[in-house]
DNA sequence: GTGAAAGCGCTAACAT
DNA sequence: ATGTTAGCGCTTTCAC
């Protein structure tokens, strides 16, 4: 009745109250079925009266595992990660693991600190959804615990990865545009962003395969709104006939592209079609309604957890690299070219 | 050299290697200055050679504190929270606290589970940025540790809160619109969203103060894109002269409003001005460029941490409710009314 | 300045 | 089915 006492009840208090040993309390708390109904009820009652709550810290110490997975995100603001986390938490929770998320705002120093902290916390596995880590940091950490990279891969020996199949994604985009009748298709590159090179190569290969090599037009950009704006400006400044369709490296950059086009009075999709990549929640906004490529982000999170669990079960030594398949989401920014 | 051995080095291994007692190692690892330079170097060298990393679990057990703050978020997808977290992590980190984030996707059951887990983990303080928790859950948890609510308040005795001053925010919006010359100003309500009632009341009060009571027009909505769409549809279906400006309860709903207006060929801001609330990153996108009210989200996160630290220092018993001041961000969706 | 010893709250043999 | 015992890896008196 007096919750003001600072010391929380321990397993010993419960044992005393129930008149049993603390091992018995432990068994009951962990749901072991080898306890008689009578004693179990006794223990449960005592625990409830005392407001007992098991101490995960003590348990982790003796069990030498925390049932915690660490997740390091470069950037919480990118809606991409929020959905990966959804999948991670769901899959982890189902196996009795909790998730502890660290965000590092694109700062390498903060990344290293976050990594060290998680290792001191003795998380049982690590998910890195952050493109900046140096290979040596990854290699060092991989010696201490199971690790998986999301949306990036590396060839560090025991480090798994789950990435989306960017070449396929790019091919889906190109197929869609070509089927609509586009030939003069440009690409705004994603710079150093994860998967950007694959998307660009997919674009170039598709153009070649369709006999459109002469129309290949790649301008530099990045995975940011600004990157998309500059890309479109470069395209418009390039002279020659305007492309009838633009494949932009990701959604955020596609938004930048849309902004510039709107400012210039160039209508989408009547005058030019736009396709993004990622299908972030932005793309689905009615006011934006962007045709884009969906990466199954929750699936990617779930896969990452599955890889961790495999390793924890000791079922595997070699690195595994899971490739998830993207799909095209057709919305309102693509249409047949307006042959003027 | 053989990192394959499963057992990580402990403080005892380091002590043995350095030829000192484990207490000494402990002193060195914690940066105590009472150690001779000679021994310190010895210990540090031994630790480095072994790849020793302090075990936070063991430390937490004996110190009876984890230096961890828990954060429960209803929804990671809402960009509002991402920035609150930034402030939280910054302020907490500066005081040696780490943050562990749990997301609960708007599910009350998941909320309770997340809460229980964090309590078992023995976090030293809890930040709730989640509007759904029942008062009794909050009250129960508040007996076990310091707690602060973000973007919501409650009158549970020892529970602090940090919220934005919604009445002031609403007043800023109304002042802006009135100064532009608007009189026929409508409001799309935020339903049960946190702060929605205050925003609506602020709207109504401002209208009355300006002698615009006859033009008060509130339609139901919610903090979602759909809520904004329905709101505008209701407004347009209402008959009578169309409002020249609409104050929408939050940014996401404002986006819904913009979408419907665009579909109907109603130009913003020429035909109607739109104002949102929150200044989420969406609003700043060039393609959207929404006039809105900024809540200083990182500040709110920092304040939340400050409140927790105050309580941990035992400096306060009574609840404190911090109100942060919003500011108006004028962008491209507002202009003087087009008197036709 | 350094070491020895006790104990944080729990689990996991091992007994019984 | 239940109790006893010995730690988990660290911090913290308290001696020296």
How far is the C-alpha of B161 from the C-alpha of B148, rounded, in Å?
5
Give yes or no for a contact between A185 and A246, defined as CB atoms under 8 angstroms apart.
yes
Interface of B with A in 276-335 (CB under 8 A): 281-282, 285-288
Which of A53, A119, A262 lies at the smallest CB-CB distance from B53?
A119
Domain A11-54's class? mainly alpha
User: If you average pLDDT over every residue of chain B, what do you get?
Assistant: 93
Peptide bond into B156 cis (omega under 30): no
With tokens 């609403």, the residue in question is B170
Question: In the structure, what pLDDT confidence band is assigned to residue B6 with cuts at 50, 70 and 90?
Answer: low
Q: What number of CA atoms fall less than 13 Å from residue A178's CA on the CB side? A: 15
CA angle, corner A207, sides to A204 and A213, nearest 5?
Answer: 90
pLDDT for residue A340 is more than 80: no
Q: What is the mean pLDDT of residues A309-337?
A: 96
**Window B:141-180, CB contacts with A under 8 Å:** 143-144
- Cβ neighbours of residue A225 under 8 Å, at least 6 residues apart? A252, A253, A255, A256, A259, B285, B286
Strand pairing category for A125-129 and A147-150: parallel
Confidence of residue B340 (pLDDT cuts 50, 70, 90): low
Q: Which residue has the higher pLDDT, B4 or B187?
A: B187
Give the mean model confidence (pLDDT) for residues B288-299: 96
The per-residue pLDDT for B4 is 39
CB-based contacts of B334, cutoff 8 Å, min separation 6: B176, B177, B180, B245, B269, B273, B274, B275, B291
Q: To 10 degrees, what angle do helices A166-180 and A196-209 make? A: 40
Q: How far is B213 from chain A (nearest CA, A)?
A: 32
DSSP code of A33? Answer: S
The set of residues, in sequence order, having a beta carbon less than 8 Å from that of B267 and lying 6+ positions away, is B261
Proximity of residue B57 CB to strand C below 7 A: no
Q: Give how far Cα B113 sits from Cα of A9, A56, A124, B106, B110, Å.
A: 20, 14, 20, 13, 5
Whether the CB of A34 is less than 7 Å away from nucleic strand D comes out as yes
Sort strands B68-73 and A68-73 into parallel, antiparallel or unpaired: unpaired
pLDDT in tens, B104-155: 877 888 889 899 999 999 999 999 997 788 899 999 999 999 999 999 989 9
Q: Which residues 4-23 on A are within 7 A of strand C at the CB atom?
A: 7-8, 10-12, 22-23
Pick the CATH number of A66-164+297-324 from 3.40.640.10, 3.20.20.100, 1.10.150.20, 3.40.50.2300: 3.40.50.2300
What's the full length of chain B, in residues? 340
The answer, yes or no, to whether residue A283 has pLDDT greater than 90, is yes
User: Whole-model pTM?
Assistant: 0.90
Distance B24 CA to C3 C1' (A): 8
Residue A258 is nearest to which of B53, B56, B287, comparing CB atoms?
B287
Helix axes B297-312, B79-94, angle to 10 degrees: 40
Cβ contacts below 8 Å, chain A against chain B, sum to: 112
Q: What is the pLDDT of residues B162-211, one digit of tens each?
A: 999 999 999 999 999 999 999 999 999 999 888 999 999 999 999 999 99
DSSP string, A225-285: HHHHHHHHHHHHHT-SSPPSEEEESSHHHHHHHHHHHHHTT--TTTT-EEE-SB--HHHHS
Q: What is the pLDDT of residues A220-278, one digit of tens each?
A: 999 999 999 999 999 999 988 999 999 999 999 999 999 999 999 999 999 999 999 99
Per-residue confidence (pLDDT) for residue B2, from 0 to 100: 34
Q: Which residues is A291 bridged to in the sheet?
A: A275
Dist CA B286 CA A130 (whole Å):
26
Q: For position A79, what pLDDT does the model report? A: 80
Nucleotide D6: nearest residue by CA–C1'? A62
Decide: CB of A24 under 7 A of nucleic strand D: yes
pLDDT band of residue B26 (cuts 50, 70, 90) is very high
- The phi, psi pair for B279, rounded to 5°, reads 50, 50
Distance CA A98, CA B166 (A): 35
In chain B, CATH 1.10.260.40 covers 11-54
Phi and psi at residue B327, in whole multiples of 5°? -130, 155
Residue from A267, A190, A192 nearest A230 by CA: A190
Query: pLDDT tier at A6 (50, 70, 90 boundaries)?
Result: low
**Would you call B74 helix, strand, or coil by DSSP?**
coil
pLDDT at position A155 over 60: yes
Work out the average pLDDT over A46-60.
96
- Residues B294, B303: Cα–Cα separation, whole Å: 16
What is the predicted pLDDT for the residue at A4?
39
Alpha-carbon gap, residue A39 to A46, rounded angstroms = 11
Q: Would you say A131 and A151 are in contact if contact means Cβ atoms under 8 Å apart?
A: yes
* Residue A3 confidence (pLDDT) above 50: no
Structural tokens at position B80: 């509002």
In this structure, whether the domain defined by B166-296 belongs to CATH 3.40.50.2300 is answered with yes
Among residues 8-67 of chain A, which lie with CB inside 8 Å of chain B?
A: 8, 53-58, 60-61, 66
Q: Best residue in A286, A298, A301, A314 to probe B by mutation, most B CBs within 10 Å?
A: A286
Q: Where in chain B is the domain with CATH 3.40.50.2300?
A: 66-164+297-324, 166-296
> Counting runs of H as helices and runs of E as strands, what totals does chain A give?
13, 12
């Amino acid at each position: 009745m007096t919750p003001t006492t600072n010391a929380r009840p321990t397993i010993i208090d419960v044992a005393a109250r129930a008149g049993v040993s603390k091992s018995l309390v432990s068994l009951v708390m962990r749901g072991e079925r080898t306890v008689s109904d009578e004693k179990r009820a006794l223990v449960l009652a005592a625990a409830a009266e005392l407001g007992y709550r098991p101490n995960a810290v003590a348990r982790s110490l003796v069990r030498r595992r925390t049932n915690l997975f660490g997740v390091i995100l470069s950037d919480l603001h990118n809606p991409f990660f929020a959905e990966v986390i959804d999948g991670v938490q769901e899959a982890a929770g189902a196996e009795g693991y909790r998730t502890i998320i660290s965000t590092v705002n694109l700062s390498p120093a903060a990344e290293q600190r976050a990594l060290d902290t998680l290792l001191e916390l003795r998380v049982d596995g690590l998910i890195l959804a952050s493109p900046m880590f140096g290979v040596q940091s990854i290699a060092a950490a991989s010696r201490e615990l199971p690790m998986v990279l999301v949306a990036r891969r590396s060839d560090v020996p025991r480090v798994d990865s789950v990435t989306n199949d960017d070449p396929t994604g790019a091919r889906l985009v190109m197929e869609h545009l070509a089927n609509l009748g586009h030939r003069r298709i440009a690409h705004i590159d994603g710079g150093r962003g994860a998967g950007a090179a694959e998307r660009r190569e997919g674009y170039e290969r598709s153009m070649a395969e369709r006999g459109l090599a002469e129309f290949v037009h790649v301008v530099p950009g990045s995975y940011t709104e600004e990157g998309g704006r500059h890309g479109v400006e470069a395209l418009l400044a390039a002279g020659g006939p305007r492309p009838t369709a633009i494949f932009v490296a990701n959604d955020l950059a596609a938004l930048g592209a849309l902004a510039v086009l709107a400012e210039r009075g160039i209508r989408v999709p009547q005058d030019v079609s736009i396709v993004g990549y990622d299908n972030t929640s932005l793309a689905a906004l009615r006011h934006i309604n962007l045709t884009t490529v969906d990466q199954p982000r929750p699936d990617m999170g779930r896969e990452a957890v599955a890889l961790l669990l495999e390793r924890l079960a000791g079922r595997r030594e070699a690195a595994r690299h899971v490739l998830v398949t993207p799909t095209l989401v057709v919305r309102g920014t693509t249409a047949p070219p307006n042959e003027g």
